[in-house]
Amino acid sequence: MDASRPTLARSGEGRLIAGVAMGISKHLGVNVVVVRVVFALLAVNGIGALAYLAFWLLVRDDDSELAKPLRLHHPRDVPKAILRPRTGDVPHRRRKLLGYVVIGVAAASLLGAAHIGFGGNSVLPLSVAGAGALLIWWRSPEAQRAQWTRDARHYTSRFSRRGPLLIVLGGIGLVIVGVTSFLAANDALAQARAGALAIGATLVGVLLVTGPWLWRLLRELSAERRARIREQERAEVAAHVHDSVLQTLTLLQSKADDPNEVRRLARRQERELREWLYASAAAPATASFASSLRQAAADVEDAHAVSVDVVVVGDAPLDDSLAATVAAAREGMVNAAKSSGAPSVSVFAEVTDRGVEVFVRDRGRGFDPEQVPADRRGIRESIVGRMTRNGGKAAIRSGPTGTEIALTVPRQARA
Amino acid sequence: MSRVRVVLVDDHRLVRSGVRAELGEAVEVVGEAGDVDEAVHVITDSKPDVVLLDVHMPGGGGVEVIRGVHAQLPAVRFLALSVSDAAEDVIGVVRAGARGYVTKTIDGPTLTDAIVRVAGGDAVFGPRLAGFVLDAFSGTDAAPESDDELDALTPREREVLRLIARGYTYREAAQELVLSERTIETHVSSVLRKLQLSNRRELAKWASSRRLV
């Protein structure tokens, strides 16, 4: 195939109705106006319109906007979804509006010429039915299906799962209302009833015959979809295990002679895996006190090859004084890791309505806070000074059984 | 005093042999099991004092083992030993009947000590479990309509739990609060009872999220 010639696809860019003419013009390399005029001329005897419809249904949609996942989390997203901007700038959209007006006038005069003249009171019902049909047909089924599978796991609220269904049901409702009122307006309701009865009976018959087959097809489709989602998830897990656990195990083998390094690697991997396994469900969107304290402990673990066990009760969004508390606690952990000689450090934090308390404890050789030389800024400045400046306080207890640093800060009044 | 007879239940053989090597003289391992059915079988046969129980195992985990044994052998006590961080797992296995929870990072002497304690009928709370319990029982001021004493911790119990969460041993906590170690044990046992019997919404929620009682 000629490489310079794009495959025939309904163009997402510069489309007036469904992108058929634009797509053909791109494919054949002909000016789009020519294609449109040909369609319009052919439309006089109906063939043009039929051909357009056939192209619309049969030719693949190439709208890149549709490929982007559309999230429906709330009923107010529905209008946005229907009116989602197509590619194209404002002048194009104006031209598009003009196009619609021309098409509308042409259709109306055609109908008039063919003496299918309905009363003026038919316009509204027909518009309603048309809007309903538009709702149903707006998004091509393949894009919809791809999006459903892709978004299946992101759908959270009840509406978001049912959103697409609600749109289709709304469309069906509009069509029914529109057609019924059109029939009523033209006094054709009685005949229509007989016709509808016949059609209904036929439909039921067809359903009875093909029903089991359709049902099986549907079930197979959904089973296939589930299998695909499972497969995707498995692949994701496999990729994660490969990137993290397997890599670390390889590293461990090459560092087997260095116990400190091995311990550090193992701790870090353990922490990452834990986070991945347990934290995803409750991961807060903004930085919280608990998460930053855990992060600080993780950093100290990595940097100083000790294990830091963190227990946090309660949580609060991070403000300035809490950030300072985390920084002071980190300094306490670093201090314990560097000078206590203890292999592990315990951190306990409790957040209540009244305030926040953090305890950093090690079981190493203690020190006498009075004996710390004035040039050691770590404790005096980074812990005590920092807490005082932020309206809290720090108490240090140290003895032969270890050291405990207690940090307390009152909660700032909530606005 | 005779040695405490222990059964190890963990689906990883490496972990079992590691734990066995860590345990001190006061403890005698009389059996091992790698899954739920085997565990129920081994425990029924050997009737140990204490079962050291992994929380996560194929075929149901620690909760299923406790369920399978507890009714017939109420004298057998369970101590959960796990790496799991998830609150619902820990609370679930304790509510099913375990008398304590320690993490696998615990050192040998502390673990031996914990087993002896559990054998003696005490409860063993590590820092992590203490933290979970404080979390679960927090906000008691917000629920004054509940006057069930099971649904709230006393100030003393809270104090004890906070010390344990800070990494204190029972003895250190006793010194800190100027109490006897026995009193600390009594407080912790009382917390365990509340943890197992209370119907507090948080506890029920944690337990039911994994369909554990």
CATH of the domain at B14: 3.40.50.2300
**pLDDT grade, residue A35 (50/70/90)?**
confident
Of A401 and A83, the structure prediction assigns the larger pLDDT to A401
Structure tokens at A394: 């720090």
Residue-range definition of the domain harbouring residue B180: 4-208
Whether the pLDDT of residue A158 is over 80: the answer is: no
Residue B149 DSSP label: G
Determine the residue of chain B that is closest to A346 in CA distance: B167
Q: Which residues of B touch A401 (CB under 8 A)?
A: 172
Q: Residue A137 and residue A211: Cα distance in Å, rounded?
A: 24
Tracing tokens 């709370």 back to the chain, one arrives at B125
Nearest-Cα distance to chain A for B93, in Å, is 17
Q: Which residues of A touch B128 (CB under 8 A)?
A: 309, 311
Q: Residue A29 and residue B60: Cα distance in Å, rounded?
A: 66
**pLDDT grade, residue A140 (50/70/90)?**
very low
Mutate to test the interface with B, among A311, A360, A407 (most CBs of B within 10 A): A311
Structure tokens at A184: 């009523």
Residue A359's pLDDT is what? Answer: 94
Mean pLDDT of chain B: 83
User: Counting runs of H as helices and runs of E as strands, what totals does chain B give?
Assistant: 10, 6
* Closest among B76, B86, B106 to B15, alpha carbons compared: B106
- Do B166 and A361 lie within an 8 Å CB cutoff? yes
Neighbours of A245 (CB within 10 A): 14
A395 touches A325 (CB < 8 A) = no
Nearest-Cα distance to chain A for B34, in Å, is 23
Q: Which residues of A touch B138 (CB under 8 A)?
A: 313-314, 352
Of B124 and A136, the structure prediction assigns the larger pLDDT to B124
Of B199 and A316, the structure prediction assigns the larger pLDDT to A316
Mean pLDDT value of segment B185-203: 84
Determine the residue of chain B that is closest to A312 in CA distance: B131
Q: Tell the burial category of B213 from Cβ atoms under 10 Å away from its Cβ (0-12, 13-18, 19+).
A: middle
Helix, strand or coil, per DSSP, at residue B111: helix
**The one-letter amino acid at A4:** S
Q: Is residue B213 part of a domain?
A: no
Residue-range definition of the domain harbouring residue A316: 284-410
Helix, strand or coil, per DSSP, at residue B89: helix
Of B189 and B201, the structure prediction assigns the larger pLDDT to B189
Residue A414's pLDDT is what? Answer: 46
Helix, strand or coil, per DSSP, at residue B58: coil
Mean pLDDT value of segment B97-119: 86
Q: Is residue A33 part of a domain?
A: no
- Do B135 and A307 lie within an 8 Å CB cutoff? no
Mean pLDDT value of segment B33-60: 86
Whether the pLDDT of residue A300 is over 70: the answer is: yes
Q: How far is CA A370 from the centre of its chain?
A: 56
Cβ within 8 Å of residue B140, ≥6 positions away: B151, B152, B153
Lowest-pLDDT range of A70-84, A101-115, A236-250, B42-56: A70-84
Q: Is residue A121 part of a domain?
A: no
Q: Which residues of B touch A272 (CB under 8 A)?
A: none
Q: Is residue A183 part of a domain?
A: no
What's chain A's Rg over C-alpha atoms? 35
Q: Is residue B45 part of a domain?
A: yes
Nearest-Cα distance to chain A for B47, in Å, is 35
Whether the pLDDT of residue A132 is over 60: the answer is: yes
Mean pLDDT of chain A: 75
**Structure ipTM:** 0.81
Q: Which residues of B touch A359 (CB under 8 A)?
A: 166-167
Is B171 part of the contact surface with chain A (CB cutoff 8 Å)?
Answer: no
Mean pLDDT value of segment A230-259: 83
Whether the pLDDT of residue B202 is over 90: the answer is: no
Is B172 part of the contact surface with chain A (CB cutoff 8 Å)?
Answer: yes
Q: Is residue B52 part of a domain?
A: yes
**pLDDT grade, residue A268 (50/70/90)?**
confident
Ramachandran quadrant class, B47 (left: phi over 0; alpha: psi -120 to 50; beta: rest):
left
Q: Which residues of A touch B167 (CB under 8 A)?
A: 309, 346, 348, 359, 361, 363
For chain A, the farthest-separated pair of C-alpha atoms sits apart, in whole angstroms, at 107
H, E, C per residue of chain A: CCCCCCCCCEECCCCCCCCHHHHHHHHHCCCHHHHHHHHHHHHCCCHHHHHHHHHHHHCCEECHHHHCCCCCCCCCHHHHHHCCCCCCCHHHHHHHHHHHHHHHHHHHHHHHHCCCCCCHHHHHHHHHHHHHHHHHHCCCHHHHHHHHHHHCCCCCCHHHHHHHHHHHHHHHHHHHHHHHHHHHHCCCHHHHHHHHHHHHHHHHHHHHHHHHHHHHHHHHHHHHHHHHHHHHHHHHHHHHHHHHHHHHHHHHHHCCCCHHHHHHHHHHHHHHHHHHHHHHHHCCCCCEHHHHHHHHHHHHHHHHCCEEEEEEECCCECCHHHHHHHHHHHHHHHHHHHHHCCCEEEEEEEECCCEEEEEEEECCCCCCHHHCCCCCHHHHHHHHHHHHHCCCEEEEEEECCEEEEEEEEECCCCC
Of A31 and B99, the structure prediction assigns the larger pLDDT to B99
Mean pLDDT value of segment B51-79: 84
Mean pLDDT value of segment A62-70: 52
Strand partners, A398: A403
* Closest among A307, A315, A287 to A347, alpha carbons compared: A307
Structure tokens at A58: 């049969």
Q: Which residues of A touch B172 (CB under 8 A)?
A: 401
Neighbours of A319 (CB within 10 A): 14
- Do B138 and A314 lie within an 8 Å CB cutoff? yes
**pLDDT grade, residue B167 (50/70/90)?**
confident
pLDDT tens digits for range A325-373: 998 999 889 888 888 888 889 999 998 888 899 999 988 887 776 666 6
**pLDDT grade, residue A157 (50/70/90)?**
very low
Q: How many domains does chain A have?
A: 1
Mean pLDDT value of segment A284-302: 82
Q: Residue B156 and residue B191: Cα distance in Å, rounded?
A: 11
Strand partners, A145: none
Mutate to test the interface with A, among B82, B89, B166, B209 (most CBs of A within 10 A): B166
Whether the pLDDT of residue A146 is over 80: the answer is: no
Q: Which residues of A touch B105 (CB under 8 A)?
A: 307, 309, 344
Segment 81-120 of chain B within 8 Å of chain A by CB: 83, 85-86, 105
Structure tokens at A114: 């063919």
Instruction: Answer whether 0.95 is exceeded by the pTM.
Output: no
Is A315 part of the contact surface with chain B (CB cutoff 8 Å)?
Answer: no
Whether the pLDDT of residue B162 is over 70: the answer is: yes
Whether the pLDDT of residue A179 is over 50: the answer is: yes
pLDDT tens digits for range A94-114: 666 677 777 777 766 666 655
Q: How many domains does chain B have?
A: 1
Tracing tokens 């002071």 back to the chain, one arrives at A328
% chain A with pLDDT above 70? 70
**pLDDT grade, residue B161 (50/70/90)?**
very high
- Do B134 and A313 lie within an 8 Å CB cutoff? yes
CATH of the domain at A391: 3.30.565.10
Of A202 and B142, the structure prediction assigns the larger pLDDT to A202
- Going edge to edge, which strands form the sheet with B77-82? B27-33, B4-9, B50-54, B77-82, B100-103, B124-125
Residue A319's pLDDT is what? Answer: 84
What's chain B's Rg over C-alpha atoms? 17
- Do B85 and A274 lie within an 8 Å CB cutoff? yes
Residue A382's pLDDT is what? Answer: 80
Mean pLDDT value of segment B26-35: 87
CB-closest option in A314, A346, A361 to B135: A314
Q: Is residue A255 part of a domain?
A: no
Lowest-pLDDT range of A111-125, A254-268, A294-308, A327-341: A111-125
Mean pLDDT value of segment B117-145: 78
Mean pLDDT value of segment B176-190: 91
Q: Is residue A58 part of a domain?
A: no
End-to-end CA distance of chain B: 36
Q: Residue A392 and residue A325: Cα distance in Å, rounded?
A: 8
